[in-house]
Amino acid sequence: MRDQPWQLQIFNKSIKKKEKLKLLDKHLVIEPSDIILDLGCAQGILSYFLRKKGGQWTSADLDLENLKTSRELLKTSLIQLEPGILPFKAGSFDRVVSLDYLEHLDDDDLCLTEIHRVLKTDGQLVLATPHTGRIFLLHKLRPLLGLKLEFYGHKREGYSTKELKEKLERHQFRVEKTQTFSRFFSEFLELLINVLYRKFSAKNITPSLRDGHIRPTTEEEFHSKKKIFKLYGFIYPAVWLCSKLDKLLFFQRGYSVLVWARKFR
């Protein structure tokens, strides 16, 4: 039996991606006639699952290498972006889904202006970003462990819920709902995995993609680390079990936030 595409093998061992997709599956309702922009598709991992929900999707990213990789999963309707203007007519989309993209941009306000322009009246924006604030201690720990923002491709650490709401309102969006995920234990485990990958598998690789380099970004790189990935597969059940300790922190907000908003003007 042929192996799964390498991107899906990564997904199967990613606690955070699974949690994000679970929230999207539960709350993102797609009509068959919906025209949707997948803004910042990276290697197409979550895009692959979202397309299964129906609708007509266009996936876009700044990096040609990301799009070449995404094509293995998504096949069609892929477009490379230049920083700044989205190459679509005003009112082209019913929804824009932008997952972990805004924090990678120098001019996030311009991006939101463009999203507003290409959405239809009453169109929906679903936005995911890292969640920040005074109590998020792991954000302070990252640089101490040698994980620079550039390794994630980030221009900023992330956004607080309040900051995102105010920013979206300035761009004429009405926030309908916010949800956080990836509490302390899940985030700490992912941070530890990122540190180990950068230290032992990618320490001499300079991040060149807009989404950085904290995991394999090509099939060739993935297969070159196959032994390491198999080893991680053996310990993954224990990692998954430890992540369930997040349930004890039901009172805590997560390290990532999903925002659901509507264009109101």
Per-residue pLDDT of the chain (265 residues; tens, 9 = 90+): 357 899 999 999 999 999 999 999 999 999 999 999 999 999 999 999 999 999 999 999 999 999 999 999 999 999 999 887 899 999 999 999 999 999 999 999 999 999 999 999 999 999 999 999 888 999 999 999 988 888 899 999 999 999 999 999 999 999 999 999 999 999 999 999 999 988 888 777 777 778 888 888 888 999 998 888 999 999 999 999 999 999 999 889 999 999 999 998 7
Identify whether 90 is part of a domain.
yes
Question: Are 119 and 86 within 8 A, CB to CB?
Answer: no
CA 32 to chain centre: 24
Provide φ and ψ at 256, rounded to 5°: -130, 150
Question: Are 201 and 228 within 8 A, CB to CB?
Answer: yes
Identify whether 85 is part of a domain.
yes
Identify whether 152 is part of a domain.
yes
**Region class of 75: left (phi > 0), else alpha (psi between -120 and 50), else beta:** left
Distance, in Å, from the CA atom of 191 to the CA atom of 199, rounded to the nearest integer, reads: 12
CATH number for position 219: 3.40.50.150
Owning domain of residue 252: 6-263
pLDDT of res. 1? 39
Residue 229 in tokens: 């990935």
Question: Are 128 and 257 within 8 A, CB to CB?
Answer: yes
Residue of 147, 90, 85 whose CA lies nearest to 117? 90
Q: Is the dihedral of CA 103, 109, 111, 112 positive or negative?
A: positive
Total count of domains within the chain? 1
Identify whether 45 is part of a domain.
yes
> Which residues are bridge partners to 82 per DSSP?
none
pLDDT of res. 134? 84
Identify whether 42 is part of a domain.
yes
Provide φ and ψ at 93, rounded to 5°: -125, 145
Residue 88: Cβ-neighbour burial (10 angstroms; 0-12, 13-18, 19+): middle
Identify whether 190 is part of a domain.
yes
Identify whether 1 is part of a domain.
no
Identify whether 188 is part of a domain.
yes
pLDDT of res. 2? 55
Distance, in Å, from the CA atom of 97 to the CA atom of 170, rounded to the nearest integer, reads: 19
Instruction: Provide long-range contacts, Cβ within 8 A and 24+ apart, for 29-36.
Output: 30/54, 30/55, 30/95, 31/55, 31/94, 33/94, 34/94, 34/95, 35/92, 35/93, 35/94, 35/95, 36/93, 36/94, 36/95, 36/96, 36/97
CB atoms within 10 A of CB 257: 22
pLDDT of res. 172? 97
